[in-house]
């Protein structure tokens, strides 16, 4: 039997020291528990696309929905979401885990904690805290599409950014939205639909919810296709493009007068840390590592070129 490596720290696990595919101490640390606990009370979750999105326009529905086996479960008294890859997309869960680490590096607020665990029969699950259970009393989660009027033409950067500011009055929420656009383009998330941007809403205030559902499209590929050259496009339109990539989003952000935000995103982007995170991830196959690195390097160069040209 070969060596077993921790899904969290990528280091070798000694015999008898593993729990859900992690070192026991890694598991305790990420979940902030003092003893070894088991997930319990798992309940299969129906995809929102099956329940409420059937009546929505295509740009507001999820491409990833249905590609996971999704459960709600508990660890101790806290609620978590567990997303298992289906057999036809074996690396989707580990790809989402790695992409959430990149989101964290980019300063994007995501549900925490999040991690990758191994269940029975070597099934991997991306796990994140169910923030719906930690919201303020009398607070509700409202998907962004419910604040928008009209059809596909209104699911665009300008309308969404204006809507977020109108509803929350918080410039940081708008900045975080712009950062999400650049992050999505960097990793190749082509599915930022109207149900995975949302606001917390109470009688007194509204604020942008943590950013969830963050996998790269590449998590849906496998086998020989991982040798291909991919260029996923964003789902949120710009004024001039219905298939925006990194450059189109940068042009739109500049058109809206906030180029400094994009420049700050570039200045703070820890590209070497991102590269090493992917290269060292024991949860990813070598072909998946290579194709992710290839896409991210391409998008990073587009970001770098645009920012440096604007500076000059």
Q: What is the token pair recorded at 226?
A: 């991982």
Query: Residues 205, 209, 211, CA angle at the centre, nearest 5°?
Result: 165
Cβ-count burial 109-141 (b if 16+ within 10 Å, e if not) = bbbeebbbbbeeeebbbbbbbbbeeeeeeebee
- Please write the tens of the pLDDT for every residue from 198-253: 999 988 899 999 999 999 999 999 999 999 999 999 999 999 999 999 999 999 99
Under the banding of pLDDT at 50, 70 and 90, the label for residue 67 is confident
Residues contacting residue 205 through CB under 8 Å, at least 6 positions apart: 168
Under the banding of pLDDT at 50, 70 and 90, the label for residue 9 is very high
Q: How far apart are alpha carbons 161 and 178 in whole angstroms?
A: 8
Q: How far apart are alpha carbons 226 and 247 in whole angstroms?
A: 24
Give me the domains of the chain, ranges plus CATH numbers.
18-131 (3.30.200), 137-311 (1.10.1070.20)
Pick the range with the lowest mean pLDDT from 8-12, 55-59, 116-120, 273-277: 55-59
What is the pTM for the complete model shown?
0.93
Verify cis geometry, omega within 30 degrees of 0, for the bond prior to 104.
Answer: no
Q: Is the pLDDT of residue 21 over 90?
A: yes
Helical H segments across the chain, by residue range:
24-31, 48-51, 92-105, 157-168, 171-187, 246-255, 259-268, 271-280, 286-311
Report the residue count for the chain. 312
- Please write the tens of the pLDDT for every residue from 155-170: 999 999 999 999 999 9
- Please write the tens of the pLDDT for every residue from 98-157: 999 999 999 999 999 999 999 987 899 999 999 887 766 678 999 999 998 776 778 999
What's the pLDDT at 50?
47
């Amino acid at each position: 039997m070969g060596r077993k490596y921790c899904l969290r720290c990528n280091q070798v696990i000694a015999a008898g020291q593993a729990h859900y595919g992690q070192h026991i101490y890694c598991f305790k640390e990420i979940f902030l528990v003092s003893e070894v606990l088991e997930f319990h009370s798992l309940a299969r979750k129906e995809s929102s696309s099956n329940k409420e999105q059937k009546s929505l326009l295509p740009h507001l529905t999820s491409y990833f929905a249905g590609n996971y086996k999704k459960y709600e479960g508990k660890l101790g008294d806290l609620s978590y979401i567990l997303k298992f890859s289906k057999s036809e997309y074996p690396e989707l869960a580990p790809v989402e885990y790695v992409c959430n680490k990149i989101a964290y590096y980019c300063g994007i607020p995501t549900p925490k904690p999040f991690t990758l665990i191994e269940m029975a029969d070597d099934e991997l699950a991306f796990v994140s805290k169910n923030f719906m259970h930690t919201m303020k009393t009398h607070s509700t989660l409202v998907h962004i599409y419910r604040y928008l009027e009209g059809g596909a033409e209104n699911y665009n950067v300008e309308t969404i950014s204006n809507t977020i500011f109108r509803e929350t009055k918080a410039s940081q929420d708008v900045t975080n939205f712009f950062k999400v656009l650049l992050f999505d383009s960097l990793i190749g998330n082509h599915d930022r639909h109207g149900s995975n941007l949302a606001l917390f809403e109470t009688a007194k205030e509204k604020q942008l919810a943590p950013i969830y559902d963050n996998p790269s499209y590449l998590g849906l590929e496998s086998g020989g296709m991982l040798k291909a050259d991919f260029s996923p496009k964003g789902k949120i339109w710009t004024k001039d493009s219905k298939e925006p990539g990194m450059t189109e989003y940068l042009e739109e952000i500049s058109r809206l007068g906030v180029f400094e935000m994009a420049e700050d995103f570039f200045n703070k982007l820890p590209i070497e840390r991102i590269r090493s995170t992917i290269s060292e991830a024991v949860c990813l196959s070598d072909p998946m590592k290579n194709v992710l690195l290839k896409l991210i390097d391409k998008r990073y160069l587009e970001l770098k070129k645009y920012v440096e040209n604007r500076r000059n």
